Amino acid sequence: MKKEMWFRFSKRKQPRKDSESKKSEKVKERTETSAEKKELDALWLQAVKYADGGRFDEAKMIFQQIQKDNEDPVIIGSCHLAMGQLEEKRRDFISAAQHYRDGLALKTTEVHAQYFFNNNLGYSLNQLGKPKEAIPYLKRAKEVSPHLPNAYKNLALSYQALGDIKNATELFIQATQVDASDSRSLRHLDELLRENPGLRVEIPDLEERLLMCRAAVKATRSGALKETLH
């Protein structure tokens, strides 16, 4: 008996017959859009170059100009994210947090933006000594993109700052499980355990889970794991 094979087909749309005037209008629109994109890309690259060279004020001026010249909320949000990261580099976490709040106010549905606005705002609030205020944003980031480790790590640091070391321990482990190639959470966990050796008794399976985390991190460093969750 022959084995059945199933195929899925999509119906091919018939090409529309546009008039010559409509065709020329479309070509013109595409040309204009392409030129605008090239100009935007050039400005963005220049801003990044300034930022990489430590010329933060000049980079920020370009991002502000891009925002002024555009109505697209995606572009405006990308500028807020970029300027927030600029302010982080100069340790101005008040300004960074404001940019991330402004980005969230755009109410984007884009997952990448939602994650980084929430995660970076939580991180900035931690840096400002406001871990309790950071927690809701970091929880939201974790919900939006559970496969990324930073929100777990930053949330763990919030709980650690509040004295909730059990929750912090669990989240450092989860962050390592989510992406063992990022060993920062394991280092934070080691430090937490040195300061609180009683956790090894309070959390019965901690030693076993810690060993598995170490093995996973070691495996990613040696190249033994070919696939990550990232």
pLDDT in tens, 179-214: 999 999 999 999 999 999 999 889 989 999 999 999
DSSP for 138-203, please give it: HHHHHHH-TT-SHHHHHHHHHHHHTT-HHHHHHHHHHHHHH-TT-THHHHHHHHHHHH-TTHHHHS
Residue 152 and residue 115 in contact, taking contact as beta carbons nearer than 8 Å: no
Nearest to 137 by CA among 156, 115, 157: 115
Residue 71 has pLDDT above 60, yes or no: yes
Instruction: Return the number of other C-beta atoms located less than 10 Å from residue 18's C-beta.
Output: 11
Locate tokens 């840096």: which residue? 127
Q: State percent of the chain over pLDDT 90.
A: 71
Please tell me which residue, 183 or 28, carries the higher pLDDT value: 183
**What's the CA gap between 196 and 177, in Å, rounded?**
22
**What's the CA gap between 120 and 139, in Å, rounded?**
12
pLDDT at 5: 33
pTM of the entire structure? 0.80
**What's the CA gap between 25 and 79, in Å, rounded?**
31
**What's the CA gap between 72 and 139, in Å, rounded?**
28
pLDDT at 145: 96
Question: What residue ranges do the domains of the chain occupy?
Answer: 37-121, 146-230
Query: pLDDT tens digits for 100-137?
Result: 999 999 999 999 999 999 999 999 999 999 999 999 99
**What confidence category does residue 35 fall into, taking pLDDT thresholds of 50, 70 and 90?**
confident
Please tell me which residue, 70 or 137, carries the higher pLDDT value: 137
Nearest to 141 by CA among 170, 166, 121, 167: 121
- Tokens encoding 199: 């956790």
Residue 169 and residue 185 in contact, taking contact as beta carbons nearer than 8 Å: no
**What's the CA gap between 33 and 27, in Å, rounded?**
10
pLDDT at 210: 92
Q: Which CATH class is domain 37-121?
A: mainly alpha
Query: pLDDT tens digits for 89-100?
Result: 999 999 999 999
Backbone angles phi and psi of 142, in degrees to 5: -65, -35
